[in-house]
């Protein structure tokens, strides 16, 4: 057994209590792996901002839930855009994508004449990076949030700044 794995062994008979399934369900939930579910992204126009992200990444159209306009990634995580009239502190959002998706997304960045950078400090304008043997680039959304697309997870190829 690997570290972090849990084994639940159950012997059942037809006479077991009716709540056995509930008990097993609760036991599974107790050992559920932690997954990122959602984050709230402040925007001047949540619909336009969510549509921008979905269009740029080639994701399904955003959906509305309460005050949020949600973009859902392939791994089920949501970016929940919410309108604000207050100050927006730019945030950074990174997306791990395939090589072919990089080509598609980067083509959209260039078609829209969006500024892009190889680094989060935005000192290497008009360039992409090749960290860990992949490709990466940064560009901004309409609210100034810094979006990053990468084809290799950081550290996966031995790169360490």
Residues 16 and 131: their CA atoms lie apart, in Å, by 56
For range 135-152, the mean pLDDT: 98
Question: How confident is the model over 85-140, as pLDDT tens digits?
Answer: 999 999 999 999 999 999 999 999 999 999 999 999 999 999 999 999 999 999 99
Decide if pLDDT at 12 tops 70. no
Q: Residue 110 burial (CB < 10 Å; 0-12/13-18/19+)?
A: exposed
Domain boundaries defined on the chain: 38-150
Q: Which CATH superfamily is domain 38-150 in?
A: 2,3-Dihydroxybiphenyl 1,2-Dioxygenase, domain 1 (3.10.180.10)
Question: How confident is the model over 109-124, as pLDDT tens digits?
Answer: 999 999 999 999 999 9
Residues 74 and 89: their CA atoms lie apart, in Å, by 26
pTM of the predicted model as reported, rounded to 2 decimal places: 0.80
Q: Is 39 helix (H, G, I), strand (E, B) or coil?
A: strand
């Amino acid at each position: 057994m690997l570290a972090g794995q849990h084994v639940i062994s159950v012997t059942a008979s037809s006479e077991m209590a009716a709540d056995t399934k509930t008990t097993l369900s609760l036991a599974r939930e107790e050992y559920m792996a932690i997954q990122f579910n959602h984050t709230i992204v402040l925007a001047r126009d949540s619909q336009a901002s969510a549509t921008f992200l979905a269009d740029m990444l080639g994701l399904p159209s955003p959906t509305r839930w309460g005050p949020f306009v949600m973009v859902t990634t392939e791994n089920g995580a949501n970016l929940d855009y919410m309108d604000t009239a207050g100050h927006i502190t730019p945030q950074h959002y990174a997306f791990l994508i395939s090589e072919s998706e990089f080509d598609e997304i980067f083509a959209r960045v260039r078609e829209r004449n969006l500024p892009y950078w190889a680094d989060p400090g935005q000192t290497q304008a008009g360039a992409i990076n090749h960290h860990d043997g992949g490709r990466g680039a940064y560009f901004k959304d309409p609210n100034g949030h810094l979006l990053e697309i990468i084809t290799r997870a950081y550290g996966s190829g031995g790169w360490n700044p």
